[in-house]
Amino acid sequence: MGGTLQADSRLLDILNEINHIWPGISTDPVMLMGFSGGAQFVNRFAYLYPERLRGVVIAAPGKTTKLKTGLKWPDGVADVSAIFDGMEVEVERFREELSGKVLMVVGKEDVMGEDMMELKDFLAGRKRSDGKRTSRVEGLKELRRNWEEGGIEVDFEVMDGVGHEYAGLLPVILKWLEEKVKGGI
């Protein structure tokens, strides 16, 4: 598998197989949507394969990877080439392929409690420096700012009254997808 995400290789294999079995179904490029951990995958897949994507929906990720060359993977993209067998994050290509074709969406009540933060820090080998709660809202706002600073236009929605629930985000996601498909992306 080399240094790929492995899941990225599997997805590409599946898309190629669909294209082979059902040639009438377009699999290059595709719209890719992920929720929670799946949104983390979409965030990272988009950096490595922007040419395979018509658009992306990043919904309520717990962790994001910024388009920053000063931060190491998975926080940023500084060492992508070393980790992923020479693959590069080509910022200009990323911007050309996906600017205006991104929806970031999260529930306003999507807050990780202290117990979840302690577990995440423990698993990452970090000590908690404060007792503050954090939210997926703030994490996604940071990713949006990062992408917009890089010239990537992003549609961004925070849904009132919604926690970490896919069903609560679905109306906004479906409306966005419908508008984008009707608009020709």
CATH of the domain at 34: 3.40.50.1820
Q: Which domain range does residue 129 map to?
A: 7-174
Indicate if the pLDDT at residue 110 is higher than 60: yes
Structure tokens of 178? 């419908």
CB 164 within 8 A of CB 110: yes
Q: What's the pLDDT band for 129 if we cut at 50, 70, 90?
A: very low
Strands 102-107 and 53-59: parallel
User: Is position 151 within any domain?
Assistant: yes
Mean pLDDT, to the nearest integer, of 45-70? Answer: 95
* pLDDT tens column, 140-160: 999 999 999 999 999 999 999
Can you give the pTM of this predicted structure?
A: 0.86
First to last CA, the chain: 31
User: Is position 2 within any domain?
Assistant: no
User: Is position 117 within any domain?
Assistant: yes
**106 or 3, which is more confident?**
106
User: Is position 181 within any domain?
Assistant: no
Indicate if the pLDDT at residue 104 is higher than 90: yes
Q: How many domains does the chain have?
A: 1
User: Is position 185 within any domain?
Assistant: no
- 3-class SS at 153? coil
User: Is position 182 within any domain?
Assistant: no
User: Is position 162 within any domain?
Assistant: yes
The alpha carbon of 163 is separated from its chain's Cα centroid by a whole number of angstroms, namely: 18
